[in-house]
Structure 1
Amino acid sequence: MLRTACEVIAERGFGHTRTVDIARAAGVSQALLFYHFGTKDELFALAFAHAARLHQDLLEEIERSAASPRERLRMLMRRSSPAGSSEGWRLWIDATAESMRNKELEQTSRRLDARGRAVLRGIIEAGVASGDFVCADPESSAWRIFALSDGLALQIHVHPKAISRRRATQLVRASAAREVGLNPEDL
């Protein structure tokens, strides 16, 4: 039911999704939905936490990878690309906006953001230690890379004619490469 809730919320948005919409999509009664989740806010918070856990699992897979720092950076950039899944980005963008009014969503959003930056910072630090990267401030670099990626994702998924997916990907790749002392072609 949580996966279905994520799909419906991504399509309709937090503000326009009704519990009956989720129940219908999941093929269950609204009563059963409330039996498991209690309130609409609880359902929405748990659905977003479910999506966040899936992304967290992805981050952990990249973090545990035996690949080189350069390859792990490529993997992270690919998986966090602003040109990625519209459904995933729509859910993330809407949840971030809703986080201003919902403490549980804000906590989930903040934890996942921090985790993503920590993984990126760790990759950069490993690359500096191995001599693959040159970066004086991995923490600041992680902030800049994700800020650019998030901002471009907003443009792609909210203002789809503002920038192409290909151009956004090129900009993030070039920025990430510069942050770690590489040429964009090397990443």
Structure 2
Amino acid sequence: MTRGFGRLRREDLLKAACEVIAELGFGRTRAQDIARAAGVSQALLFYHFDTKERLFAQAFAYAARQHLDVLAEIERSTRPPLDRLRTFLKRCSPTTGADGWRLWIDAWAESMRTPDLEETSRRLDLQGRSVLRGIIEAGVASGVFTCPDPDAATWRLFALCDGLAIQVNVHSRVLTRRRVAELVRTAAAAELGLAAEQL
């Protein structure tokens, strides 16, 4: 097996693992389920990952890297703060990527018992808050936003998005996606001294 093929195969296995875990959850997913979805033997799966726990941790880390890439792209952007805020809210909305949100929600629960998942989850949350706080601080500095405490505003907006994501994915008929988007827009506008229509 060439090194390039090995990397490709490993990435395929992690992608399949994320899809299966998002559908079945960490608690109900077996190595056999992931092997079947990836079209490989369990032996090959364990050749790459040694244990099911290591596979789960690396699958979550793989999913986290995809999200961290999105955050890095927003952070590097030279567009005005209001445009970056709109992009951030759209890309991190509780209404987008149901499979991704199911994986995160399940990983949060599993993180209470699995240190590797907790570390990855915490790192992802920290990076997300850092990017949003940076956008808010840039908006305040340029006079576009009014916000006396960007750190507190960041925590409140993250808590709202996380909580709404749980409602949308666990209790799917409680709120429409349109209502969720409106709640996030209204809260962000109130935190930053904007009109909701600006978002």
Q: Partners of 1:56 and 1:180 in 2: how far apart?
A: 24
Q: Distance in 2 between matches of 1:63 and 1:25?
A: 35
What letter is aligned with 2:163? G
Where do 1:70-89 residues align within 5 Å? 70-89=82-101
TM-score (norm 2): 0.93
**Which of 17, 32, 53 is equivalent to 2:29?**
17
Shift of 1:177: 1.0
Give 1:151's aligned residue: 163
Q: Show the counterpart of 1:33.
A: 45
Matches within 5 A, 1:48-59: 48-59=60-71
* Residue number among 100, 106, 110 corresponding to 2:122 in the alignment: 110
For residues 177 and 88 of structure 1, what CA distance do their matches in structure 2 show? 26
Aligned to 2:72: 60
Q: CA deviation at 1:66?
A: 1.3
Q: TM-score, normalised by structure 1?
A: 0.99
Task: Note the C-alpha offset of 1:137.
Answer: 0.5
Alignment match of 1:175 (pick from 184, 187, 192) = 187
Runs of 4+ in 1 over 2 A off after TM superposition: none
Q: What residue identity is the alignment partner of 1:30?
A: Q
User: CA offset at residue 162 of structure 1?
Assistant: 1.1
Secondary structure in 2 matching 1:14:
coil
- Structure 1 gap segments, 5+ residues each: none
CA RMSD of aligned residues (A): 0.5
Query: 43, 59, 63: which is aligned to 1:47?
Result: 59
CA distance in 2, matches of 1:99, 1:72: 30
The equivalent residue for 1:142 is 154
Residues 36-84 of structure 1 deviation map (CA, whole Å, 9 limit, x = unaligned)? 0000000000000000010000000001111110000000000010001
Letter in 2 for 1:4: A
Q: Deviations over 1:110-149 (max 9, x none)?
A: 1100110000000000001111101111000000001000
* Amino acid across the alignment from 1:109: S
Higher relative contact order (CA 8 A, sep 6+): 1
Counterpart of 2:27 in 1: which secondary structure? helix
Task: Tell me the distance in 2 between the aligned counterparts of 1:55 and 1:123.
Answer: 17
In the alignment, the residues of structure 1 paired with residue 52 and residue 177 of structure 2 have an alpha-carbon distance, to the nearest angstrom, of: 34
